[in-house]
């Protein structure tokens, strides 16, 4: 638990940077699982600072984003492609072909094979070294909404009404929020070698308590993270305020 989100984000970014530097030194790739939304923004701005001011190189980094709305065109204001460019990729030296974000432009017929291929690409890259996560008020990680079981993999899902309501301001009205998304599964996330679950602010306190201290159940998919043996839950004081 950190006094504020800024300090916590600097710590997460510094852990990630240390791993990248160690791998760079021995000529090995680092595979990062990335999240969007408001939670990781300061982690990305610190990684950008480390690149610009301290020479941290992303040439050997391979990334896989958790999710994308479906349908979604990459140039749209709310697309996670655009989000990742604006907050991270446009400001670092990662080669484009090492970036993977679920494709919101596919036809329904194409999605199934695409998701299987996304899983294959993660495996071929050597698996996720680090996965960073935010948490939704439904208890979702990625877009694994209540009902998502432990063994789920990358797939097309239906968004919870609460998630769509939370996204409404960004879409200028709930009626414009897509009903579906492509997301890595709970099982995909649990295979990461290290996980950081981050949450900031009072509004996340009740779901943080359920995720960390509640019974493990698909009713709150984030509770499956309790089974992971190398996870850090990084909170500011308000988000931690309901923990016993």
Which residue, 53 or 80, is less far from ligand F6R as judged by CB?
80
Count of CB atoms within 10 A of residue 103's CB?
Answer: 18
CA-based nearest residue to 214, from 186, 242, 185: 242
Which residue, 52 or 232, is less far from ligand F6R as judged by CB?
232
**Are the beta carbons of 163 and 143 closer than 8 angstroms?**
yes
Q: Verify whether residue 145 is a known catalytic residue.
A: yes
Q: How far apart are CA 102 and CA 143, in angstroms?
A: 12
Could you say whether residue 39 binds ligand F6R (CB under 6 A)? yes
Could you say whether residue 222 binds ligand F6R (CB under 6 A)? no
In our burial notation (b when 16+ CB lie closer than 10 A, e otherwise), range 200-222 reads bbeebbebbbbbbeeeeebebbb
Q: Using the rule CB under 6 A, which residue among 21, 37, 162, 178 binds ligand F6R?
A: 37
Could you say whether residue 192 binds ligand F6R (CB under 6 A)? no
Q: How far apart are CA 142 and CA 152, in angstroms?
A: 12
Task: Tell the smallest beta-carbon distance from residue 210 to ligand F6R (Å).
Answer: 15
CA-based nearest residue to 44, from 7, 21, 10, 95: 10
Which residue, 41 or 125, is less far from ligand F6R as judged by CB?
41
Task: Tell the smallest beta-carbon distance from residue 36 to ligand F6R (Å).
Answer: 4
CA-based nearest residue to 8, from 215, 217, 176, 200: 200
**Distance from first CA to last CA of the chain, Å, rounded?**
13
Task: Tell the smallest beta-carbon distance from residue 80 to ligand F6R (Å).
Answer: 6
**Window of 18-26, 29-37, 90-98, 111-119 that interacts with ligand F6R by CB under 6 A:** 29-37
Q: Using the rule CB under 6 A, which residue among 32, 94, 128, 141 binds ligand F6R?
A: 141
Which residue, 28 or 38, is less far from ligand F6R as judged by CB?
38
Give CA angle at 58 (182, 136), nearest 5°: 35
Q: Which of 53, 124, 145, 150 is catalytic?
A: 145
Which residue, 35 or 182, is less far from ligand F6R as judged by CB?
35
Q: How far apart are CA 213 and CA 207, in angstroms?
A: 10
Could you say whether residue 136 binds ligand F6R (CB under 6 A)? yes
Could you say whether residue 67 binds ligand F6R (CB under 6 A)? yes
Could you say whether residue 88 binds ligand F6R (CB under 6 A)? no
Could you say whether residue 140 binds ligand F6R (CB under 6 A)? yes
Could you say whether residue 211 binds ligand F6R (CB under 6 A)? no
Q: How far apart are CA 125 and CA 31, in angstroms?
A: 7
Could you say whether residue 38 binds ligand F6R (CB under 6 A)? yes
Residues lying near ligand F6R in the complex (CB under 6 A):
35-39, 66-67, 134-136, 140-143
Active centre residues (catalytic): 145
């Amino acid at each position: 638990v950190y006094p504020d989100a800024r300090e916590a984000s600097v710590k997460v970014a510094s852990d990630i940077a240390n791993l990248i530097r160690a791998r760079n030194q021995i000529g090995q790739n680092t595979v990062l699982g990335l999240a969007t939304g408001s939670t990781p923004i300061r982690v990305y701005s610190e990684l950008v600072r480390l690149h610009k001011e301290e020479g941290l190189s992303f040439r050997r980094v391979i990334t896989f984003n958790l999710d994308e709305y479906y349908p979604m065109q990459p140039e749209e204001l709310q697309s996670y492609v655009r989000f990742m460019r604006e907050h991270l990729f446009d400001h670092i030296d990662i080669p484009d072909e090492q970036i993977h974000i679920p494709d919101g432009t596919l036809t329904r017929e194409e999605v199934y094979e695409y998701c299987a291929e996304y899983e294959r690409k993660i495996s071929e890259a050597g698996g996720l070294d680090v996965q960073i996560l935010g948490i939704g008020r439904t208890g979702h990680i990625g877009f694994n909404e209540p009902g998502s079981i432990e063994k789920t993999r990358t797939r097309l899902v239906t968004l919870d009404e609460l998630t769509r309501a939370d996204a409404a301001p960004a879409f200028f009205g709930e009626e414009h929020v897509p009903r579906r998304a492509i997301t890595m599964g709970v099982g995909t996330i649990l295979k990461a070698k290290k996980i950081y679950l981050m949450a900031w602010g009072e509004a996340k306190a009740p779901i943080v308590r359920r995720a960390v201290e509640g019974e493990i159940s698909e009713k709150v998919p984030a509770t499956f993270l309790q089974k992971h043996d190398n996870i850090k839950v990084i909170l500011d004081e308000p988000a931690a305020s309901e923990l016993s």
